[in-house]
Structure 1
Amino acid sequence: MKIHNYTSEFKNNLKLATPIMMGSLGHLLVGLIDDIMVGRLGPIQLAATSLGNSLVFIALSIGIGFSLAITPLIAESDGEGDKQKGRSVFQHGLILTTIIGLAMWVLLLFIKPILYHLDQPEEVVKLAIPYYEIVAFSMIPLMIFQGFKQFTDGLSETKYAMWATILTNVVNVVLNFALIYGFWIFPRLEIVGAAIGTLVSRFVMVIFIYYVLKKRKKFSIYMKKLQLAEISNIVFKKIIKLGFPTALQMLFEVGLFTASVILAGTFGALPQAANQIALKLASTTFMIAVGVGVAATIRVGNQIGLKNYIELRRIAFSNFLLIFIIMFGFAIGFFIFKDLLPLVFTENLEVIQIASSLLVVAGFFQLSDGLQAVVLGGLRGLQDVNVPSFITFVAYWIIGFPVCFYLGRTLNMGPFGIWIGLLTALTSSAVMLFLRFNYLTNKLIQEKNELT
């Protein structure tokens, strides 16, 4: 097949992916601005927000992973042209994401005492607790928003969630400035002000997307609330069947990178700082892969609805090729600017030297990290989640983490050895997930040919 058959789809892929990329990068940017604003208060305050966010981030990853199940089901119903089926999936999904938001809030409050047992300074924990309690409550509006977001993504209407995210970012920055430092009629609340800014901005995000969808006629059939008689355990089970393994995938990956931070911290403050710089840069480029991955989910889901499996493979492989080209460009950038990029974060020469060596490894794993994210998106579009969940567990924890620990601690290679382990984990994941996708799509084509 000619290369043009794949590259011709780049425009359609990017049309779906770009708003998701922008929204994800916007969240990263606001997180960076939050760190800068809180950092001006002092290192104890910055450490307190970091501690408070640590547990919330794990809960957030699990919740978002679960909500991703809505997108392929909506995409499939859209491909079939069945709006009533789409409405049912959306409404049931929204109920589930709301319940998950409430459950995560209660769980985070329940495990709050863990913060006292992480060997952190007493003054840091004391500041972190009120911040943590408020941010934990913001899980409720955030998960409600995820229900709306994954629904619109499934309909290939990715711009609405992007608009909501941009508005949220603006509100968050303004409120943070007013409430952290005290401005005009607003009191100086310091890191509690940062938490309130996060909470209010997430409620604004939900109100905005609900208002926009309610006002647009094309969403009217979907926005009609389910009657009690329409609620179906079958639909709930279908979403949960897809959502639970997807949440586990997120947990396995987030867990590995969290473990890498902890391992790096055992070598001292400077190696840990270098590790954080490299992770921040790698996370930024990963947001691009997330966008292309969602585009793969949507477009593969559409073709599942149409039962056009040859076209499905062509479109999926166009996404794989697109992310390979994009991440190859990032890899070259990391290689060329490895000594300059750390200067954005620090002037400490030792930290810069360590971070520079890590960016070399990060450059290599751009390709595997991007590919595994997009192939996972394609498999999600196929509604294949159980085996990929097992694959990610094996890649990250049976293969990757032991390599991280052996090279980093046993051979005393430090953060560089840890990152070689991360490269091993991501490459293993990418290869196994690709083989899984290739096998399933060939099987679908073969089965359809046998029926005809």
Structure 2
Amino acid sequence: MQLQLYTKEFKQNLIIAMPVMLGQLGHVLVGFVDNVMIGKLGPAPLAAVSLGNTVLYFALFLGIGFSFAITPLIAEADGENDQLKGRFYFQHGLVMCTFIGILLFGLLLLTKPILYHLNQPNEVVELAIPYLNIVAFSMIPLMVFQGFKQFADGLSLTKYAMYATIASNLVNVLFNYLLIYGIWFFPRLELEGAAIGTLISRVFMLVLLYFILKNRPKLKSYFVLIKRSLSKQVFKRLINLGFPTALQMLFEGGIFTASVILAGTLGTEAQAANQIALNLVSMTFMIAVGLGVTATIRVANQKGKRDYFNLRRIANSIFIQTFLIASLFTIGFILLKSFLPTLYIDEQEVITLAAQLLVIAAIFQLSDGLQVAFLGALRGLQDVKIPTLICFIAYWIIGFPISFILGQADQFASVGIWLGLLAGLTTSAIMLYIRFNYLTNSSKGKYTQAYETT
């Protein structure tokens, strides 16, 4: 009977989470298709995409982290039935995302020379630079898209971003196929073709979502421009939430991109295997992201209603659901560890290395999924500073040193790198749950006070 208090929320959780899952999974599946297409060109091009995305992902983590500040504020305003407040947060958030997109584009161009100083194979770096030049510009439409997406997510309208994402993914796959291999009258551009396909699809995705949201009758008032000048206080609140969230994503995502650099020091084959394993775990991670977004939305809604009992109950229902789904992925990775890498490449050395990494990936499915759900719930409480510190400690004080030490060629090589990832994710999950439990445990007699004053 006690369990039913949580399981009865599973359906509503999935209604909100499923579009996010499908949309995010769509992004990763396009990455999967990209890697399969590029993998046919050989290990060096596949490793080059991995290296180019290393720099890109750092920018992406920062940008998306800032945009995540929009969702809990919109959800809280929605819980309070205060549409005017929601409109202010939406429009200010959109301005913030546009500015950040332009800023990140410039920073990516300035940081390209870093690739020459990461002890990577020369052929890989030379292939990665032209790819990065084009994909960097796509950060601008992507960040504007994020502004619209996080707004819609905050209103629990997660399906519209999914529609735009899936449609853009089809556009991406089409242009990748045409431009990578030079099909029909299109030139054969290989890696640059993949980058152009990404840019085209992101512009398309932004335009499509804008028209979908603008033409929804219930959302028309949100698109009426605010008559007052932009508010420094609103921007301050967005940044106060967004900056720590961006750091959280940077700390977690950074250790995964650092694994690419560490793997590159072991050779092209090790880096290609690392890319295959990362692409596969990123697919399952996006399922957890959907539940994490759901935790943010539903917790923020209950916070706006000041219904703290159901806030904790709903959050725990999401944690349980995440654990059950992650358990299935654990089993799947173990059973299919030798088969999945063959979808990317046919070189046996790379396949063997990737299979070893997938065993560790199978183990950390549980901690990776749960820490995303815990972070989402804390974000819904607008508790971001302490979780940011937790992420830093877990990934860079504990996880990265283990990856660096055990990832040396004379130690455990690629397997050692991933043991560090496992340690960081597990530490993060444990500490984040302790934080959430502390803030919401009514038995302490500080149930409402703990996180309203944090």
Q: TM-score, normalised by structure 1?
A: 0.93
Distance 2:274 2:19 in 1: 29
SS in structure 1 at match of 2:383? coil
Partner of 1:402: 401
1:152-167 to structure 2, matched below 5 A, reads: 152-167=152-167
Q: Within 5 A, what are the aligned runs for 1:105-124? A: 105-120=105-120, 124=124
CA distance, structure 1, for counterparts of residue 348 and residue 39 of structure 2: 21
* Alignment check: 8 A CA contact 2:66 2:243 kept: yes
Task: Tell me the alpha carbon deviations over residues 271-312 of structure 1, each in whole angstroms, 9 at most, x when there is no partner.
Answer: 444333332222211111011000000000100100000100
Q: Deviation at 1:263?
A: 2.5
Aligned residue number for residue 70 of structure 2:
70
Residue of structure 2 in register with 1:356 after alignment: 355
Give me the whole-angstrom Cα distance separating, in 2, the residues matched to 1:42 and 1:337.
23
2:238 alignment partner in structure 1:
239
Could you report, residue by residue, the CA deviation over 1:7-46 in whole angstroms, capped at 9, with x for unpaired residues?
A: 0000000111111111111111111222333444555544
Equivalent in the alignment of 2:434: 435
Gap runs ≥5 in structure 1 = none
Which residue number in structure 2 is paired with residue 378 of structure 1? 377
Aligned equivalents of 1:333 and 1:350: distance in 2? 22
Contact 1:274 1:351 in 2 (8 A): yes
Q: Distance in 1 between matches of 2:444 and 2:234?
A: 27
Which stretch of the first structure deviates more once superposed, 41-50 or 417-426?
41-50
- Per-residue CA deviation, residues 155-199 of structure 1 (Å, 9 max, x unaligned), is 000000000001111111222233334444544444333322221
Judge conservation of contact 1:357–1:416 (CA < 8 Å) in 2. Answer: yes
Cα distance in 2 for residues equivalent to 1:111 and 1:177: 29
* Equivalent-residue separation in structure 2 for 1:271 and 1:41 (angstroms): 17
CA distances 1:346-379 after superposition (whole Å, capped 9, x unpaired): 4444444443333232222111111001000000
Measured in 1, the distance between the counterparts of 2:218 and 2:414 equals: 51
CA distance in 2, matches of 1:359, 1:113: 32
Matches within 5 A, 1:39-78: 39-41=39-41, 45-78=45-78
Equivalent residue pairs, number: 450
- Larger deviation: 395-404 or 233-242? 395-404
Contact 1:309 1:444 in 2 (8 A): no
* Displacement after TM superposition at 1:226 (Å): 2.2
| Residue aligning to 2:309 | 310
Do 1:303 and 1:309's aligned partners in 2 also have CA atoms closer than 8 Å?
yes
Name the CA shift for 1:222/1:104 in 2 (closer, same or farther; >3 Å): same
Q: 2:51–2:260: 8 Å Cα contact kept in structure 1?
A: no
Task: Measure how far apart 1:56 and its partner are.
Answer: 1.4
Q: Is the 8 A contact 2:329 2:365 kept in 1?
A: yes
Offset of residue 329 of structure 1:
1.3
User: What residue in structure 2 maps to residue 101 of structure 1?
Assistant: 101
CA contact (8 A) 2:375 2:387 kept: yes
Q: Distance in 2 between matches of 1:212 and 1:248?
A: 31
Determine the structure 1 residue equivalent to 2:423.
Answer: 424
User: Relative to structure 2, which stretch is displaced further, 431-440 or 394-403?
Assistant: 394-403
**Partners of 1:323 and 1:356 in 2: CA distance:** 25
Distance verdict in 2 for CA 1:444–1:302, change over 3 Å: farther
Match of residue 254 from structure 1:
253
With over 3 angstroms needed to count, the CA separation of the structure-2 counterparts of 1:231 and 1:112, relative to structure 1, is same
Amino acid at match of 2:300: G
What is the aligned partner in structure 1 of residue 452 from structure 2? none
Alignment of 1:25-424 (within 5 A): 25-41=25-41, 45-120=45-120, 124-227=124-227, 229-409=228-408, 412-424=411-423
Distance 1:377 1:402 in 2: 26
Tell me by how many angstroms 1:416 deviates.
2.4
CA distance in 2: counterparts of 1:297 and 1:187, whole angstroms: 45
Distance 2:222 2:314 in 1: 27
Q: 2:338 & 2:192 partners in 1: Cα distance?
A: 36
SS in 2 for 1:225: coil
Q: Greater shift after overlay, 310-319 or 419-428? A: 419-428
Instruction: Give 1:230 shift.
Output: 4.0
Task: Say whether residues 1:3 and 2:12 are aligned partners.
Answer: no
Aligned mates of 2:265, 2:183 — CA distance in 1 = 40
Query: For 2:411, what is the secondary structure of its paired residue?
Result: coil
Q: Which amino acid aligns with 2:156?
A: S
| CA deviation map 1:86-145 (0-9, x unaligned) | 000000000000000010011112223323444456565455434322211111100000
Looking at structure 2, the residues matched to 394 and 308 of structure 1 have their Cα atoms a distance apart, in angstroms, of 32
Please tell me the residue identity of whatever aligns with 1:281.
L
